[in-house]
Structure 1
Amino acid sequence: MSDTETPLKPAEKPTANTAPFVIRTDNDGADGVTTLSLNRPDELNALSEGMLATLQLELDDIADDRSVRVVVLEGAGRAFCAGHNLKQMRANYSLAYQQELFATCSKMMQSVLRLPQPVIAKVRGLATAAGCQLVATCDLAVAADDAKLATSGINVGLFCSTPGVAVGRAVPRKHAMDLLLTGDFLEAPRAAEIGLINRAVPDDRLDEDVAELAAKLARKSAHALALGKQAFYRQLEMGITDAYAFAGDEMARNMMDRDAAEGIDAFIEKRDPEWDQGPRSDPRSEDD
């Protein structure tokens, strides 16, 4: 195949498996909590063309849905996500295809970061290569204590360069390079120790733990969470002087928002706050 052949299509050809790639469940356990379940357990929820396209569509829809306050991302079956679909990649052996595939995946990962709602990864089983990247990309991550995470591409001769972008921003450099160079698997408790996930819990407590965390976030000001998430990731790319200047301006503007006034008044008056409706895809939009 030549390097000029047709690149990645928005969705893969139909197969015998007609189940949706991603199952969306709204108000899952608490108002405002939406769960996205990667739904190819027979393929360990690999990020195939169809999986990437469907996940991107769901994220785009959620970004504009003010009824969604928190997103939980999980995988069906015995894996969270085993990374890219290597069989599909080998079957489309052209440079143009591979470049488009990784660009599509990178766009999806950045959509998770830009989503106004917090995203929690609920990890069972394996999270390898781009699956580990997805865990590192999510704002928070909780895993069953028997889950295993790895940037294992090096074991098949494919260095996990794009997973390294997310993992290298989630853990210290030496830990990131250890994962990337060796391809070794981390048990979830060790992943928590180095900061790749927030915590590891017994498998029979994972659902309850994540549900409690999601419900806790859903009770916060969705506008403040969206604004704060956006500001946090922006300041990480700045020098410290610029970061303080930017963050100070953000806090000053945040202080002028309706939710901040309501929250402070509620604190003073010893009552529960009544927050605004929900997050905006642009938390600084003028339709306030």
Structure 2
Amino acid sequence: MADAEPLLVSEAGACATLTLNRPANGNSLSMGLVQALTGALAALAPREDIKVIVIRAAGSRIFSAGHDLNEFAGDPDPAFLAADFAGIAGLMQAIMAQPQIVVARVEGVATAAGLELVTACDLALAATTARFALPGVNIGFWCHTPQVAVSRTVGPKQAMELLVTGRLYPAEHALRIGLVNGLHPPDELDAALDALVATICAKASSVLRAGKASFRAQAALPVAAAYAEVQGRALANITHPDAREGVAAFLEKRDPNWLI
């Protein structure tokens, strides 16, 4: 009954955890799981008490194998395929636009849209045993949607290498090209994740939310436009009560008391 609920949602303090719960199907991103993830993110978005969202997977063998190819088998309905691809694209953009910081916890294999999910997140920690691939080319299908997030996370040549070889790369390669932020032995991964989450949750919710929005907005702009964009955001930030409290706490050599 492990697949009875495709997504498990839990909370601990200022952190919410979304667990992909289709281990028997490689935690593949079926339309039902994509809809569940998108809905969970939408429900969490307005909650300023939640500062971090962790996306992880049930089981240790596969983080996510990407699209559920069972839904593509045979002679699928073109309307279904269009809805499926639109759903994946919407989910990835929702993660990028999510007000909270989204962290991927990767253990096992992350391939195709599963790797896309990792790169759509703001941060990613992986086990040293994790492996990564964009293997669509191996089965006659280019990883069209995964390339969007991946090519915006690593350099163009590194992204193209993943796309054209279809190889399964080790965790060390993923760290070297910037797919993940850090590697940890499997039995130390959760402790490292907890430490990262605790560090982020100690910050003001207002700053994290405004900061992520600022980062995403400027990253899509040319340099001059980016500076123009962030000036207004900086002015709004520096006059916020949390910023005034933070400056005062620094000058008074004490811990700040954030609104949230």
Query: Corresponding residue for 1:140?
Result: 123
1:178 has 2:178 as partner: no
Structure 1 residues 264 and 182, CA gap change in structure 2 (3 angstroms): same
Is residue 2:2 matched to residue 1:20? no
2:48 matched to which residue of 1?
66
3-state SS, counterpart of residue 152 of structure 2 = helix
Residue 94 of structure 1 and its aligned partner are, at CA, apart by 2.5
Across the two proteins, how many residue pairs are aligned to each other? 259
For the residue of structure 2 that corresponds to 1:96, the secondary structure is helix
Is this contact kept in 1: 2:175–2:181, CA < 8 A? yes
Identity percentage over the alignment? 39
8 A contact 2:3–2:21 mirrored in 1: no
Match 1:168 to one of 144, 151, 155: 151
Equivalent of 2:14 in 25, 32, 55: 32
Instruction: Output the CA distance in 2 between the equivalents of 1:95 and 1:87.
Output: 15
Alpha-carbon separation, structure 1, partners of 2:222 and 2:47:
33
Which of 35, 39, 59 lines up with 1:53 in the alignment? Answer: 35
> Please, which of 95, 100, 123 is the counterpart of residue 117 of structure 1?
100
Alignment-derived partner of residue 243 in structure 1: 226
Distance 2:32 2:189 in 1: 28
Residues 115-139 of structure 1, C-alpha deviation per residue, up to 9 Å, x if partnerless?
Answer: 1110010000010000000001000
Counterpart amino acid of residue 32 in structure 2: G
TM-score (norm 2): 0.97
Instruction: Give 1:284's aligned residue.
Output: none
Displacement, 1:17?
6.6
**Contact 1:189–1:199 (8 Å) recurs in 2:** no
Amino acid at match of 2:5: P
> Which blocks of at least 5 consecutive residues in structure 2 are unaligned?
none
Conservation of the 8 A alpha-carbon contact between 2:204 and 2:258: yes
Local SS of the residue matching 2:29: coil
Using CA pairs under 8 Å that are at least 6 residues apart, name the structure with larger relative contact order, 1 or 2.
1
Which stretch has the larger CA shift, 116-125 or 267-276? 267-276
Aligned partners of 1:84 and 1:273: how far apart in 2?
A: 45
How far apart, in 2, do the equivalents of 1:97 and 1:149 lie?
27
In the alignment, the residues of structure 2 paired with residue 92 and residue 64 of structure 1 have an alpha-carbon distance, to the nearest angstrom, of 41
The answer (yes or no) to whether the contact 2:3–2:23 under 8 Å persists in 1 is: no
Q: Name the SS of the counterpart of 2:124 in structure 1.
A: strand
RMSD of the alignment, in Å?
Answer: 1.2
Q: 2: distance between equivalents of 1:17 and 1:73?
A: 17
Aligned partners of 1:181 and 1:113: how far apart in 2? 26
Equivalent residues of 1:221, 1:259 under 8 A apart: yes
**Cα distance change, pair 246–94 in 1 and its aligned pair in 2 (3 A):** same
Matched residue, 2:63:
80
Partner of 1:285 in structure 2?
A: none
1:58-99 CA deviation, whole Å, 9 max, x = no partner? 111110222211111101012111100001122561322111
Shift of 1:266: 0.8
User: Residue 141 of structure 2 aligns to a residue in which SS?
Assistant: coil
TM-score by length of 1: 0.87
1:66, 1:92 → 2: CA distance? Answer: 45
What displacement does 1:271 show? Answer: 1.2
Residue 80 of structure 1 contacts residue 131 of structure 1 at CA under 8 Å; is this kept in 2? Answer: yes
Consecutive aligned runs of 4 or more in structure 1 exceeding 6 Å deviation: none
| SS class of match (1:26) | strand
- Distance, in Å, in 1 between the alignment partners of 2:179 and 2:55 is 16
Cα displacement (A) at 1:112? 0.5
